[in-house]
Structure 1
Amino acid sequence: MTDATQPELDAARTEQRDAHHDGGGVTAAIVRYGLLGLLAAMIMFFTLMEPAFLSVRNLVIVLQSVSIVAILALGVTCTLVVGGFDLSIGAVAATSLMASSYVMVVFGGGTVEAVAACIALGLLVGLANGLLIVKLRVPDLLATLGMMFLLLGLQLVPTAGRSIARGMTLPDGSTADGSFTNAFLALGRYRLFDIVPISVVVMIALAILISVFLGLTRYGRVMYAIGSNAQAARLAGAAVEKYRIAAYMISGVCAAIGGILLAARVGRGDVSSGNSLLLDAVAAALIGFAVLGSGRPNAVGTAIGALFVGLLLNGLTMMNAPYYTQDFIKGAVLVVALMFTFGLSARTR
C-alpha cells in the first residue's frame, strides 16, 4: 500500500473542512431561524384548521391574553441576564392585585394610591429577594421560592382567604364600601382606537424600554457581563452586588405592573387570579433564548416567546383541544426551543 501524497492529503482535509462548514452553516441557520419557522408553521396550521384564527379580533384577544404574561417575563429576563432566576413573580403579581383591590375597596383610596402601593410592593419584594441572594448567599431559586410562598399566604390574611369586592364583610365585622375607580378600571379595559388594549401598549413600551436598556446602555452590558462571568466583572470594577439587586427590583416592579393590569381587567380582588402566570412567564423567557439564535436572555425574544405561547394556547382552544393537554404541549414546545438554543448551537461552535 502506498502512502498518500501531500497534495492528496491536503485535498482530503479541505473536503472534510468544507463538509463541516456546510453542515455547520445548516445547523446555524436552524438555530437562528428555527423558532421563527416553527412559529410561522404553527400559524399556518391553525389558520388552515380554523380560518378565524388570523382575524383581527382573535389576534387582539391573543395580544391581550399574553400582555400580562409578557410583562412578568420581561422581569424574569432581567434576572436571567445577571445569572439569576425569580420564581416569585407570579406571587408578586397576585399580591399586587389583592393590594390594589384592598386600597380602593377597603380603604377607599384612589387610582394613584393603589398604583403607588403596588409599585412600592414590587420594589420592596425585589429588594428583599436581592438582599437574600446577594448578602445572605441564599440560592436564588430557594430565596424566590420562599418569597413566593410567603406572599401567597400573606395576601390571604387581611380578608381571611376571601376575594375582595364591594360590600364584603371584613374579618372585624365591618363592611367594605369602597369601589374600583373608573380611571383604574380603564387600565385594564380601555382600548386605543377601540382596538388595542392598554395592557398591550404597556407590554410593547416595556419591551422596547428593557431591550434598549439591556442592549444599548452601559448598564445593560455590565449586567450581561455579570451573568456571563461575575468574578471577571467584579475584577473589572463592576458593582456586581448592586446590579444583581437592581435586576430583582426591576423584576418586582414588572410583576407589580402585571398585577395592576390584571386587577383592572377583572375588577375585583380575586384570590385565584394569577395562579398560572409564573409558569407561562418562565416559558416565555426561556423560549426567548431561541429567537434568532441569540442564546441569551433578551427582551425582544421574551416578547416573541410570550406571543408564541399565547398563539399556541389560543389555537389549541379554538380547535377544542382538551384543557389537560395544553401544559404538556407547552412543555414540549419549550423543550424544542431549548434544544434549538443549547443543543444545536453547541455544534456550530
Structure 2
Amino acid sequence: MTDIPAPAVPRRDRAALVRRYALVALLVVLVVGFRLAEPAFLSTNNFFSILQAVSVVAILGVGVTVTLSAGGFDLSVGSVAASSVMAASYAMVVWQLGAGETIGLVLALGAAIGLANGLLIVRLGIPDLLATLAMMFLLAGLQLIPTGGRSISAGMILPDGSTAAGAYDPAFFVLGRLRLFDVVPVPVVVMAAVALVFWFLMERTRFGRVFYAIGGNETAAHLAGAPTRAYRLAAYMLSGSLAALGGLIVAARVGRGDVSSGASLLLDSVAAALIGFAVLDARRANVLGTVIGAIFVGVLLNGLTMLNAPYYTQDFVKGAVLVGALALTFGLGRKAR
C-alpha cells in the first residue's frame, strides 16, 4: 500500500501563518538571543524592570488604540502625560493637596483635555491629526507657564518670589515605587488592569464593537443608529484619562515635576499601537497587540542596553522594527491576494 503524500500547504495559507505568528516568534528569538548573550537578562528583577519601564507607554498606547479604533488618532497623549506630571507636582508642592485629591484632579484634567480634543474634531470638524497636534503644542507651552519654565520640587522658588511650602504626599509614591510582595511593581499591576479592562471593553462588548464600526465606516454606523459623535468624544476622553494616569505614574516614580518628562512618550506609545496591528495578524488597532508591542520594544531596548549598544541607535532600531512589522503584515497580505 503506497503512502498518500500530505497535501501541500497553499501559498496563501503559508503567508497567513507567517503574518500571524512572525512577531511573536521574533519576540521569542530576541528573548533567547539576549539570554544567551547575557544570562542576567531573564532574571526576575530584570523581567519586572522591563514591564515597569513599558507600563506607562502601554497605558498611553491603549488610549491611542481606542482613538484609532474609532477612526481617529490622538497625537496629544505625550503632552497630556507631561502636563499631568507637572499638574500633580504643582497640586502637592504649591497647593499642598493630598494624594487622593491630586489623583482625582489630574484624572479629571486628562478627561477634560480629551473632551476638548473631541469637541474640536466633532463639533468644529477639524481633522483629528491637526486638532490633537495643536493641543500637543498648546499643552507643551501651557505646562511651563505656572513655574516660569522650571521643574517643580519641594522648596522651589515660584515666579512671584515666594517659596513653595508643600511637598509630595508620601502616599502618592505608592503609585510609582511600591512593589507588591517586594517583587511586582505597582505600575505593572496598573498596566495589567488597564489592559484587561480595555481588552474586555473593546473585544467583548457592544461598546467596543461600535467603536470599530465607526472606524470602519462612520456613515454606515450612523445610519445604523449608532451615536457616532458621542462615541468619538468618549474615545478622546478615555485617551486623555489614560494619558493622565500615565503621567501620575511618572510623577510618583520620579518625585518631581520634570519639564522634560514626556519627551519620548508620544513616539513610544504610537509605536506600540502600530506594532499591535501586526500581532496575530490583527491588521487593526487592538489592546492586546498594543501591550505586546510595548513589551516587544521594551525587551529590545533592555537587551540592547545590557549589551552596551550605543544609546543613539535605539530610535533607529525602534523605527526599523516598526517598519518591518507593518511591512510583514500588510506586504505579505497583498502578495497572498
Query: TM-score interval w.r.t. the shorter chain?
Result: over 0.9
CA distance in 1, matches of 2:162, 2:104: 25
Once the two structures are TM-superposed, the CA of residue 39 in structure 1 deviates from its matched residue by 0.6
What is the CA deviation profile of residues 26-67 of structure 1, one whole-angstrom value per residue up to 9, with x for unaligned ones? 100011001001111111111111111111111111010000
Once the two structures are TM-superposed, the CA of residue 347 in structure 1 deviates from its matched residue by 3.5
Tell me the equivalent position of 1:278: 266
CA distance in 2, matches of 1:125, 1:347: 42
CA distance in 2, matches of 1:348, 1:101: 53
What is the CA deviation profile of residues 93-122 of structure 1, one whole-angstrom value per residue up to 9, with x for unaligned ones? 000000000000001110111111111111
Identity of aligned residues (%): 62
Tell me the equivalent position of 2:19: 31
How much is the aligned-residue C-alpha RMSD, in angstroms? 1.1
CA distance in 2, matches of 1:274, 1:56: 28
Tell me the equivalent position of 1:8: none
The 3-state SS of whatever aligns with 1:260 is helix
Tell me the equivalent position of 1:222: 210
Once the two structures are TM-superposed, the CA of residue 124 in structure 1 deviates from its matched residue by 0.7
Tell me the equivalent position of 2:252: 264
AA aligned opposite 2:142: L
Select which of 65, 87, 93 maps to 2:53.
65
The 3-state SS of whatever aligns with 1:268 is coil
Is residue 119 of structure 1 aligned with residue 137 of structure 2?
A: no
Once the two structures are TM-superposed, the CA of residue 333 in structure 1 deviates from its matched residue by 0.2
The 3-state SS of whatever aligns with 2:97 is coil
Tell me the equivalent position of 1:6: none
CA distance in 1, matches of 2:111, 2:48: 31
Q: Normalization by structure 1: what TM-score?
A: 0.93
Once the two structures are TM-superposed, the CA of residue 281 in structure 1 deviates from its matched residue by 0.4
Select which of 197, 203, 224 maps to 2:191.
203
Once the two structures are TM-superposed, the CA of residue 182 in structure 1 deviates from its matched residue by 1.2
Select which of 124, 134, 137 maps to 2:125.
137
CA distance in 1, matches of 2:108, 2:318: 33
CA distance in 1, matches of 2:202, 2:223: 21
Once the two structures are TM-superposed, the CA of residue 348 in structure 1 deviates from its matched residue by 4.0
What is the CA deviation profile of residues 233-280 of structure 1, one whole-angstrom value per residue up to 9, with x for unaligned ones? 111111111101100100000000000010000001111112111100
CA distance in 1, matches of 2:25, 2:102: 43
More deviation in 72-81 or 173-182?
A: 173-182
* Structure 1: runs of 5+ lacking an equivalent: 1-17
Is residue 237 of structure 1 aligned with residue 209 of structure 2?
A: no
Once the two structures are TM-superposed, the CA of residue 340 in structure 1 deviates from its matched residue by 2.2
1:9-158 equivalence runs, <5 A: 22-158=10-146
Tell me the equivalent position of 1:175: 163
AA aligned opposite 1:76: V
More deviation in 93-102 or 338-347?
A: 338-347
CA distance in 1, matches of 2:14, 2:330: 16
Tell me the equivalent position of 1:301: 289
Once the two structures are TM-superposed, the CA of residue 318 in structure 1 deviates from its matched residue by 0.7
Once the two structures are TM-superposed, the CA of residue 346 in structure 1 deviates from its matched residue by 2.9
AA aligned opposite 2:53: S
* Structure 2: runs of 5+ lacking an equivalent: 1-6
CA distance in 2, matches of 1:346, 1:223: 26
CA distance in 2, matches of 1:104, 1:281: 27
The 3-state SS of whatever aligns with 1:326 is helix
Once the two structures are TM-superposed, the CA of residue 344 in structure 1 deviates from its matched residue by 1.4
Once the two structures are TM-superposed, the CA of residue 304 in structure 1 deviates from its matched residue by 0.4
AA aligned opposite 2:39: P
AA aligned opposite 1:25: D
Once the two structures are TM-superposed, the CA of residue 168 in structure 1 deviates from its matched residue by 0.6
The 3-state SS of whatever aligns with 1:138 is coil
Once the two structures are TM-superposed, the CA of residue 345 in structure 1 deviates from its matched residue by 2.2
CA distance in 2, matches of 1:198, 1:247: 26
Once the two structures are TM-superposed, the CA of residue 341 in structure 1 deviates from its matched residue by 2.1
Q: Normalization by structure 2: what TM-score?
A: 0.96
What is the CA deviation profile of residues 201-229 of structure 1, one whole-angstrom value per residue up to 9, with x for unaligned ones? 00000000000000111111011000011
CA distance in 2, matches of 1:86, 1:311: 25
Select which of 316, 319, 323 maps to 1:335.
323
CA distance in 2, matches of 1:90, 1:119: 15
Equivalent pairs, count: 331
CA distance in 2, matches of 1:42, 1:202: 26
AA aligned opposite 1:272: S
Once the two structures are TM-superposed, the CA of residue 283 in structure 1 deviates from its matched residue by 0.4
